[in-house]
Amino acid sequence: MSGVLVVLEKTPGSAAINRMSFEALAAAQQLADKLSATVTIAVPSGKDFSADGFESKGRTPSAAYLLKHELLEPYTSDTYVLALEQLIKKLSPDYVLFPHTYQVRDFAPALATRFKQVLISDVIAIHDGPVFVRQLLQGKLNADYKHSIPNNEKAPCFVSVQAGSFRADESTTTIKPEIFTPELSAAQIRNKPGERFRESSQTVDLSAAPVIVSVGRGIGEQDNLPIVEELAQALGAELAASRPICDNGWLPMERQVGSSGQTVSPKLYLAVGISGAIQHLVGMKGSKAVIAINKDENAPIFEVADYGVVGDLFEIVPELTKAIRAAKT
């Protein structure tokens, strides 16, 4: 095979593919179109998937493989590396794409190393070449990566695709996969799976809020939070936050917006002291209108903001709250 292999990830304990995988599939299709190449799908699974078929999105791929072995469940990086290494050696794809999930972050760098390659991770765009774009320094720089191997040796290029960067196709197709049974033995497994990491529980449903005031590390310390809480109250808005605020325990995890928090699409999203890292943007860029307050005029949040205020939040937010209260009386 010469083309693009995309490794899809299943939702644990079910026979469904997760949403980020379909975004990676959309990226794979875009890349294959640029190269006039084919797309092949691979799904590692223990028991949940069968050769009867599973649902995928977008165009029907030219081939689909179900890597099936009881040792692939529960997930371990050792079995995934061994199984995918065997499939890649059989297919010899030029590119191997993954969704940038926690699981992929765990095993894909080791898999790439088996082929003396690195993983180009967190890719947000693919240009002609192909050139893979990923962000550096909290989104302040975009860096371009091209795959090249010395001495014309052949090895695939391994790429993981950031959440929210490619739009998954909405049309559904049923895939009838070919079964690929990797050679695995229990003695090869060095990891002991623990309890699965759970994303933040969602007792606060931010996705239904029409107005959200979201606070970031620019607030400085927990004692300053009342400044934004008062703004949220004046606007009748839900309070949300970037990850460092929740990691610090200043606000509960369920108020986190972003790739490892909630995805929101309010009529108005007011970002206060938030830089606009890609992991935050993917959770809020569907908002109808975005207002950003940030003292750094080069902060990436301004790229998605409809209205930007460059300045000190400690001066602007209290004045804004006062003006909103006055307008309401």
Ligand X SMILES: Cc1cc2nc3c(=O)[nH]c(=O)nc-3n(C[C@H](O)[C@H](O)[C@H](O)COP(=O)(O)OP(=O)(O)OC[C@H]3O[C@@H](n4cnc5c(N)ncnc54)[C@H](O)[C@@H]3O)c2cc1C
Closest CA to 157 of 18, 2, 319, 271: 2
Radius of gyration of the chain (CA): 22
CB nearer to ligand X: pick between 79 and 259: 259
Candidates 20-28, 32-40, 179-187, 240-248: pick the segment binding ligand X (CB under 6 A).
240-248
CB of 313 to ligand X, least distance (A): 4
Q: Which stretch binds ligand X (CB under 6 A): 78-86, 123-131, 146-154, 236-244?
A: 236-244
162 binds ligand X (CB under 6 A): no
Contact stretch for ligand X (CB under 6 A) within 20-28, 40-48, 142-150, 256-264:
256-264
Amino acid at the residue 324:
I
Site for ligand X in 90-149 (CB under 6 A): 138
Q: Does 255 bind ligand X (CB under 6 A)?
A: no
**From 46-54, 74-82, 142-150, 212-220, span contacting ligand X (CB under 6 A):** 212-220
Does position 19 interact with ligand X (CB under 6 A)? The reply is no
Place of tokens 């409809």: 306
Least Cα distance to 97 among 114, 84, 83 occurs for: 84
Nearest residue to 80 via CA among 55, 31, 43, 119: 43
Residue 216 found at the interface with ligand X (CB under 6 A) = yes
Cis peptide before 74 (omega within 30 of 0): yes
From residue 257, alpha-carbon distances to 82, 85, 166, 189, 280 in Å are 35, 35, 19, 36, 6
Decide: is 244 part of the binding site for ligand X (CB under 6 A): yes
Q: Is 258 one of the binding residues for ligand X (CB under 6 A)?
A: yes
Choice from 232, 273, 291, 302 touching ligand X (CB under 6 A): 273
Q: Which two tokens stand for residue 51?
A: 């050769």
Regarding 277 and contact with ligand X (CB under 6 A), the answer is yes
**Residue 199 binding ligand X, by CB under 6 A:** no
What are the C-alpha distances in Å from 312 to residues 269, 295, 309, 315, 317?
18, 5, 9, 6, 8
CA distance 283 to 17: 20
Name the minimum Å distance from CB 265 to ligand X.
15
Binding ligand X (rule: CB under 6 A), the pick from 56, 77, 259, 287 is 259
243 binds ligand X (CB under 6 A): yes
Q: Which is nearer to ligand X, 299 or 305 (CB)?
A: 299
Residue nearest ligand X, CB atom distance: 258
Q: Report the relative pairing of strands 119-127 and 131-136 from DSSP bridges.
A: antiparallel
SS percent in the chain: helix, strand, coil, step 5: 35, 25, 40
Residue 297 and residue 315: Cα distance in Å, rounded?
A: 16
Which residue's CB is nearer to ligand X, number 49 or number 166? 166
Beta strands 63-68 and 178-180, pairing class? parallel
Our CB check for ligand X shows the closer of 73 and 122 to be 122
Q: Are 114 and 175 in contact (CB under 8 A)?
A: no
* Residue 256 binds ligand X, judged by CB under 6 A: yes
Which of the ranges 153-161, 183-191, 221-229, 269-277 carries the binding residues for ligand X, by CB under 6 A? 269-277
For ligand X, the binding residue among 19, 34, 140, 295 (CB under 6 A) is 295
- Residues making contact with ligand X (CB under 6 A): 138, 216-218, 242-244, 256-261, 273-275, 277, 279-280, 283, 293-296, 299, 312-314
